[in-house]
Structure 1
Amino acid sequence: MTRKYKRKKTNINKPLSILLTTLLVSVAFLLGSWFGKNNISYQWIETYANEISSQIRSLGSYFNKDKKSEKLADYHFFDMGQASSVLLKGYDGTTILIDTGRYNDSEPRIIDYLNAEIGIGAEIDLLIFTHNDADHIGNGDLVLDYFQVNEVWMNGMDHTSQTYSRLLDALLKSDAIYTEPKDGYTTEMGAFSIEVFHPLENEKQSNQNDESIVTRITLGDTVLMHTGDVNADVEKRILNEASASLQSDIMVLGHHGSNESTSEKWLQAINPSVAVYQAGVGNQYGHPHREILQLFDNHPAELLGTDNYGTIHIVVNENNEIDIFTEEEG
C-alpha cells in the first residue's frame, strides 16, 4: 500500500499562458479590423474566433499533458533500519548510490533493493560512501562484488573495523575509479550536477562523522542536500563559507535525525519542501531526537522518516512537481 503526496513547486506553463493570451488578443484585433473594413458578418467572426480559441486551448493541453507525463528521476531512501542508503536514478539511466546500510543486516537488503530498482548485477555510475562507519558502508563489499560500479567516492579517513577492511579489499578487486572529493569539487554525472562542500582539503576532523562527504545534487530544477553524519559545527562552517544559496528542495537530515546535526540556521538556509531521515524503529540512540522534530513544527517541509514509513520513494517530474510514495506500516 502506498501513500502519495504531490507538491507543485513552480508553474512552468506561465510562458505558454502568456503566449496563448497574446495570440487571442492578436486574433481579436485582426477580426475587429476586418469587421470594420469588409462586409463580413459578425456571426462568421464569432465562429472563427471560437474555433481558433479552441484549437489554441487544445494545443496548450497537449503540451501540458506531455510535461506532466515526463519523469526526470526516482529517488529511493531505502529502509535500512538504523542505517543509511539512498539511490538516485536519472531519466538518462545514470545511477548514484549514497551509502550501503548496516554491516550486520541479517539479510543484505541493499542487494534486493538494487536488483529491484536498477536490475540484477546492473551498472552503478557513482557510489558515494559518506564516511566509513559500519552503518554507512555495511555490505559495501557485496555491492562492489555484485554490481558494475564505475566510480567510488570516500572521505580518505581510515577505520579499524573489519567492515572497512572488507570494503577496501573489494574496492581493490574492482575496476572502479577511486576519488576523495573535497570542498569546492564539482562534477557532472550524467544528468546530475554534484557540488561537494565537505570535507576540507587540508584539515582533518577528529571523527568519522564530521569527515562525512557533504553533497548538493541537482537534476533539472530539483536539488537534494545530503550531509552524511556531520554535526552542526560543520554545517555552520559551510553556511559561513558558501558563496551562493544552499537552498535545496529535498534534504536528508544529518546523522539520522540527531540533535547534534540539522541546526535551525541550517534548516532555514536549506529551506526544503521535503526532509527525510533514515532511522530504525525504536533505535537505541533515540533518533530522531525530539529537538529535531520540534524544529519542523514551525517549518512547512514534509518530514518523513523510514522508521515510520519504510522506504520513501520520491519521483522528480519535469513540470517541477515531486510525487512522494511511502510504505505504510501495519
Structure 2
Amino acid sequence: MRSRPRRHSMKPLMNRARRKPRRMPLVLRFAKGSVHGDIMIAVILHAIFAALIVYIDDFTPYTPHLPGSITSSLSIVVGLLLVFRNQSSYARFWSGQENLTTICTNIRNLTRTFLTCSYATNKPEPSEAERAETETAVYALLAVVYAVKNTLQWEWEHSVGAPDLEDSGSGSLKPELRALLGPQMSETHEFEGLGLPIQLTMSIEAYIKRSHDRGWFHSPQASQLSVQLNTMVAAFGTMETIRLTPIPVAYLIHTRQVLALYGGVLPFAFVESLQWWTVVIVSLITFTLYGIEAIAYQLEEPFGWDKADIKMDDVVEDLRIEVGVLLKEWQAGAPMFGRQEN
C-alpha cells in the first residue's frame, strides 16, 4: 500500500495559501463569514411592517394598495445605487491589495539586489561593518511593510486607535517591528508627524547612495533602485488615501434611506395579489438588497481585522520568512548570490 506523502510545516506563501476544508456548503452558512447578523434587524422590521399592511388589508375596511409600476420605477434607482456602491467599495479593496503587493514586490527586488550586489569586483571584500550595514538595510526594507501595516491599522503596542501622545521614541512600536530596527533607528518620530515608513525609506536611500559611492552599484542601477523605493512610497500613499478617505456619509445615508423606502413600498404593491405571502417575498427581497449593501460596507475599509479584509498579517509573515531565508543563505555564502571565491 502506497504511503501518504509527508506534509511539510513550511512552504512558500504558507500563511496566505492556508485553506481549511469547508465542512458545510456555503449556501447553508448563516453565521461565520456572512453578513446575516448585520442585516437581520432591518429584515425583521420590514417583515413586521409587511405583516401589518396585510393585517390592515384583511381585517379593516382600508385597502392599502399601490400599482406595481411604482416598485418598478424604484427598483431601477435601487439597482443603480447598489451597483455603484459595490463597485466603488470593491475598487478600494482591490486597490489596497494591489498596492500592498507592489510594496512587497519592491521589497523582494531591493533585497535581491542588496544581497547580490553588495561588493565590487576587483576590490577588497566588504568589511564586517559594511556587511552589517547591508543586513541593516535589508531589515529596514522588511520593517517598511511592518510599519505600513501598523500605520494603516493604527496598531501600536499600547492600543489600537489613538496612541499615548506622551510616548516618544520606539517604545510605542510593536515588538516585532522594534526588533527589525537598527541602532540608527532607535528613535522614531511618529508622534511628531513623520510616518515610520517614510523614515525607513530615508535610511534605505542613504544606503543606496553609500553603496554607489563604494562602487557596488553603478549609476543606472542606483537610479533604478531609487525608482523602486519611490514606487513603494507612492503605493503607501495610495493606501493612506483609502484609509483616510471614507465613502461620503451623505451617500451612505441616502443609500440606506432609499433601501428602507423601497422595502416599505413593496408590501403595498404585493398585498392585493399575494396576501400573507407578501411577508415572505418582502423578507427575501430586503434580505438580498440589504445583504449586498452590507458586503459593500465591509469591503470599503480593507485594512481592518474582519474576515473580508486584506490578510495583512499573513502577507507580512510570508515576506518575513522569505527575507529571513535569503539573509541566512547570504550569511552562509550560498552560491545563489553569484559570489566567486578568489
TM-score by length of 1: 0.27
Determine which structure has the larger strand proportion and give its number. Answer: 1
By relative contact order (CA 8 Å, sep 6+), the higher-ranking structure is 2
Query: Which is helix-richer, 1 or 2?
Result: 2
* Structure whose alpha-carbon radius of gyration is higher: 2
TM-score (norm 2): 0.27
